[in-house]
Amino acid sequence: MNLHEFQGKQILSSYGVRVQRGHVANTAEEAVTVAKQLTEETGTGWHVIKAQIHAGGRGKGGGVKLAKNLDQVSEIAGQIIGMDLITPQTPPTGKRVNKVLIAEDVYYPGDGEISEFYMSVLLNRATGRNMIMYSTEGGMDIEEVAEHTPHLIFTEEIDPSVGLQGFQARKIAFNLGLSGGAFKEMVKFVDSLYNAYVGCDASMFEINPVLKTSDDKIIAVDAKVTLDDNALYRHADYAEMRDESEERPIEVEAKAAGLNYVDLDGTVGCMVNGAGLAMATMDLIKYAGFEPANFLDVGGTADAKRVEIAFRIILKDPNVKAILINIFGGIVRCDRVAQGIVDAYKNMGDEIKVPIIVRLQGTNADLAKQIIDESGMPILSAIEFQEASDRVKEALS
C-alpha cells in the first residue's frame, strides 16, 4: 500500500525521524489557516505548498511551490488543489490533486551549506536482507544518477539477526561527506529511519531529498512510503491511511469482493484458485505465446457468485481476448465449480464475447468436464495443463 507524503512523514516522525513539518489542507482557505498555525509552531515565515498524489516528480510538474506570504499560500494552494498534475510518474492525463501539504520552508539561508542527499530503505531480494541505499546526489532522479554516475550510489546491507549497527550508520554519514553536528544528526537520522522501516513493516522508504540545512539539521523533506499489505493487519491505524481514489478502480472492486487481482497488460484473462497455481497459469499463457491480462486468485470458495464477480472484473479490461479458468478442486469439488461457471455464464448472457477455456482438475474433474460439455455453452474444457494451453492457442489464432 502506497502512502501520501504527509502520511509517510507522520509515521517517520513517530519513530523520531526529523521531518519537514507541515499540515494538510483541502481548500485554499484551510491552507491559510494551517499556514498560520505552522508559523506559530515552527516560526517559519515561508511555506512550501506540496500536492499530495501517489506519484513522484511533483516539483517538475508544478506541484511543489514556495509561498513567501499568506496571500501566496492562498493563491498557490488554490491553483494546485483541483489541478490534474502531470509528472514523469503519473499517467499522461495526470492525477487529480485533492489535498496539499503546507510545509515549513527548510531551505533557509545561514552560515553552513545546504546539501541534498538521497536515501532509501528496501529489501534486497537477492540476499534476503534489508538495505539502505544512499547518495550524495539528492533532489534529482535516482535513475539518472544510477545511469550516469553509478559510483555515487552506495548501499549498506543489514544483517537481520543484529539489526543496523552503529558503525554502519557512521559509515553512511561519512560517505555523505558530513562532519561535526551534521554527522551526529545523520547517524541518528539513519538509525531512526531504519527502526521506522522495520517497525511499520514497510516494503520501501524513499527519502529524496534528505536535507542538511544551513544550521546542520538533517531533515526528511520528502517521503515515499510503501507498506507491506500482508502486514497491515498488525497496524490498524496505518490501514486506515489507504486512499482508494489513488488506486485502480478495478483493483479496489476486486479487493472489496475478496479477490486477489492485479491488472496486467496482456490479452488472456486468468481466473485461478491459489497464488501458486495462478503464477503457473501465467507461465503457461506465456509458453503458449501470449501475455496474461491479469493475475486473479479467487481463493478457496469458487462458487457461482464469486465466479461471476471475477468474470465481470476480467471483462472490464478491454484488452481481454480470451479467459482461461484454471481451478484445482481440492476442498471445493470441481463439479460445484463447473456448475458455478455455467450458472455465471447463463446469468451474464451475451455480456461474454470472448472464448472461455476451462481447466478443472482434482475431485470430480471428469464430472465437471461433463457438466461443461453438456451445458451447451461455448466453453472449451480441458483436464490436462497442456490441453488448456492448446485450447488458448486455438481460441486466439
> Which positions touch ligand GDP (CB under 6 A)?
48, 50, 56-59, 64, 66, 105-107, 139, 208-209, 221-222
Per the annotation, does 234 bind a ligand?
A: no
CB within 8 Å of 358: residues ≥ 6 apart: 325, 327, 338, 341, 372, 379, 380, 381, 382
Nearer CB in complex with ligand GDP: 219/282: 219
Per the annotation, does 298 bind a ligand?
A: no
Per the annotation, does 379 bind a ligand?
A: no
- Report what 107 binds from ligand GDP, Mn ion, none; CB cut-off 5-8 Å by kind: ligand GDP
- Report what 112 binds from ligand GDP, Mn ion, none; CB cut-off 5-8 Å by kind: none
Per the annotation, does 332 bind a ligand?
A: yes
Nearer CB in complex with ligand GDP: 209/292: 209
Q: Does 20 bind Mn ion (CB under 5 A)?
A: no
- Report what 275 binds from ligand GDP, Mn ion, none; CB cut-off 5-8 Å by kind: none
CB within 8 Å of 325: residues ≥ 6 apart: 270, 271, 272, 307, 341, 356, 357, 358, 359, 360
CB 80, CB 100: distance < 8 Å: yes
- Taking CA 304 as the corner, what is the angle to CA 301 and CA 305, rounded to the nearest 5 degrees? 85
**In the complex, minimum distance from the CB of residue 222 to ligand GDP, in angstroms, rounded to a whole number:** 3
Distance CA 226, CA 284 (A): 31
CB 108, CB 130: distance < 8 Å: no
Residue 88: is the preceding peptide bond cis (ω within 30°)? no
Q: Which stretch binds Mn ion (CB under 5 A): 94-102, 122-130, 207-215, 303-311?
A: 207-215
Q: Is 206 a catalytic residue?
A: yes
- Report what 331 binds from ligand GDP, Mn ion, none; CB cut-off 5-8 Å by kind: none
Residue nearest to Mn ion (CB): 222
HSE-CB of 234 using CA atoms within 13 angstroms: 10
| Cα distances (angstroms) measured from residue 162 to each of 158, 166, 168 | 8, 11, 12
- Report what 22 binds from ligand GDP, Mn ion, none; CB cut-off 5-8 Å by kind: none
Q: Does 137 bind Mn ion (CB under 5 A)?
A: no
CB 86, CB 33: distance < 8 Å: no
The catalytic position among 104, 118, 238, 345 is 118
Q: Is 341 exposed, middle or buried (0-12, 13-18, 19+ CB in 10 A)?
A: buried
**In the complex, minimum distance from the CB of residue 203 to Mn ion, in angstroms, rounded to a whole number:** 18
The binder of Mn ion chosen from 208, 294, 339, 381 (CB under 5 A): 208
The catalytic position among 5, 206, 246, 308 is 206
Per the annotation, does 59 bind a ligand?
A: yes
Q: Which stretch binds Mn ion (CB under 5 A): 33-41, 80-88, 221-229, 306-314?
A: 221-229
* Cα–Cα nearest to 368, from 396, 397, 319, 326: 326
Cell of 43: 516560526
**In the complex, minimum distance from the CB of residue 115 to ligand GDP, in angstroms, rounded to a whole number:** 12
Residues numbered 229 to 258 that lie near Mn ion (CB under 5 A) are none
Q: Is 291 a catalytic residue?
A: no
Check residue 158 and report its DSSP letter. Answer: -
Cell of 65: 511551490
- Report what 105 binds from Mn ion, ligand GDP, none; CB cut-off 5-8 Å by kind: ligand GDP
Active site residues: 118, 206
Binding residues for ATP: 50, 57-59, 106, 116
